[in-house]
Chains A and B, each alone.
Chain A
Amino acid sequence: MAAIETSALIMAILGFVVLFGGLGVALYVALAGGFGYEEEEAEEEPTEPV
């Protein structure tokens, strides 16, 4: 079995870190605020149509 090239490995790590790291951070921030709508709905007030 061939070994993985160092440069390919670096690009693989870069891709994973940026894409899934970015996704992880964004999801973490979102999770901190909750994934449901219940709290926001309780505070909602009716709005006038434009």
Chain B
Amino acid sequence: MAQDREEWGTRIGFILAATGSAIGLGNIWRFPYQVYANGGGAFLLPYLAALLLAGIPVLIIEIALGADTQLTTPLAIRKKIKESEFIGWWAVLNGFIVNAYYVVILGWAMMFIFFSFTQPWAGTGTNEYFFNSFLVSWFPVIGVVAIWAINYGILWFGVSDGLERANKLLVPAIWILVIVLAIRGLTLPGGIEGLNFYLEPQFDQILNADVWISAFGQIYFTLSVALGIMITYASYQPEGQDISNNAFIIAFANTGFAFLAGFAIFPVLFAAFQNPTEAVTDGIGLSFVVLPEAFAKLPGGDLTAATLGGLFFLMLTMAGLSSSLSLLEAAVGPFHEKLDISRHKALNTLAGLGAIFSLGIALEGPLGFSPGTPLQMLTILDTSSATFTLPMIAFGETLIFAWVYGADRIRETANEVSDFHIGVWFDWLVRIVVPVALGYSILRNAVDQPGLIAPFLIMLSAVVASLVKERRDVVTEEVTGTEPTDGPVTEGGE
């Protein structure tokens, strides 16, 4: 096992890095749209319920696991339940794939900081420019190289000197940027109409099951759980650090940022377009097509368009960068520990592989791999890793720690060191509410994609096998009075 284990220098360093990981592209381009599309302000009620009932409990499990074991994700899971180590590696692999295409999008965002000033879409329009000029040019490749170089450079300096320092700059900066953009948006002519559109509640939507599913679905994506990040990040704290309160701070800061992002986006759309409801969208279309056009149409001319566009893409790049760093660290840390190789060697290997992967995605357009659909590879990877695989990993992880290892033991671990204590309600949430919400989401995906049933059954079989083995070892221990020699580490001595 590697001896030169790195640590955060301060508690605020860990909180900022974890918050930076959670705040990413989704907070800016997905959450505000989800609010609008799912009943406006009324969506906040199911969303807050999902945050408290499902998001924070899973976050507590992950932080507790990392803080208690002082090991990165797969090894932390192995230390608790030996047979389930594969879930940790699955999470690391999935996070690595997510990072590969995430860096491509960050590369676009970084290039658009500069394009906000040159406005290359002035003659053709943003839609035509983005899909038919930008994506088939070499600019995305330049962006990928630049973002991977930044990621590599920061992680080279390690956890405290690299990650912590970078997040101490990035996270406050994105908060300042979103506040500036929200104030400017609300003071634009028509800005308040955008705010009404964003937040006016349609309370009948609260009875719509799809709205609740959207709320619970969004929670797992936004909190960086089941990607191997939070366990690894929490493990870099010294022993005996707070668990529950850190989880609350990270969750509220992440959701607060997303809520504020809506104040920056919707007013701009209403100030710029005559029919703003037709322009409202999410994801890549919102960020790289609709908003650049909106900034160009705002009163104030080119200088306003350049300034607001530049600030928006700077915020998008910085928010994504802190998440991308965490995804890479979630892979570097475990390889460093498991293979007992130096951090730099693990970083060289994984950053090299990741960069090649990202370049493959970015080259789809300029090399014409899929003419007319330059986003095909990125879309496939996003759907398979974020939409399908992530809920499965979260489901397996929650089942194993709530039912096999024991929710009560996680709770006790958290209560021993936390600023405030969590009650028995936590056990029921992670045993019942979280698996039901995730299981339902997975089954709905499986209805659309029957091929998902196979990996889901493999995951379920592994969970059941761990459960059976754990019970058998407990019985053996009770009968013979001896600790099991192979199998789950029951931590009877702790």
Contacts and interface: CB of A to CB of B under 8 A. Distances in A.
Interface of A: 1-5, 7-8, 10-12, 14-16, 18-20, 22-23, 26-27, 29-30, 32-37, 40-41, 44, 47, 49-50
Given A2-B196, A4-B192, A27 B41 contact: no
A30 B252 contact: no
A13 B165 CA distance: 34
Interface in B1-48: 1, 7-12, 15, 40-42, 44, 48
A30 B11 contact: yes
Given A15-B41, A47-B239, A5 B419 contact: no
B256 A23 contact: yes
A14 B246 CA distance: 23
A1 B186 CA distance: 11
A49 B262 CA distance: 48
Given A1-B189, A23-B253, A30-B419, A8 B196 contact: yes
20 contacts: A1-B189, A1-B190, A4-B196, A7-B41, A8-B195, A8-B198, A12-B41, A14-B44, A19-B256, A20-B256, A22-B248, A29-B245, A29-B419, A35-B12, A37-B8, A37-B237, A40-B240, A44-B240, A49-B1, A50-B489
B259 interface: yes
Interface of B, secondary structure class, is helix
Interface of B: 1, 7-12, 15, 40-42, 44, 48, 79, 189-193, 195-196, 198-201, 237-242, 245-246, 248-249, 252-253, 255-256, 259, 419-420, 489, 491
A12 B248 CA distance: 21
Contact of A23 (B9, B189, B241, B249): B249
Contacts of B237: 37
A35 B10 contact: yes
Given A4-B196, A11-B201, 18 more contacts: A2-B190, A8-B41, A8-B195, A8-B198, A11-B42, A15-B259, A18-B44, A19-B252, A19-B256, A23-B249, A23-B253, A29-B419, A30-B11, A30-B245, A35-B12, A37-B7, A44-B238, A44-B239
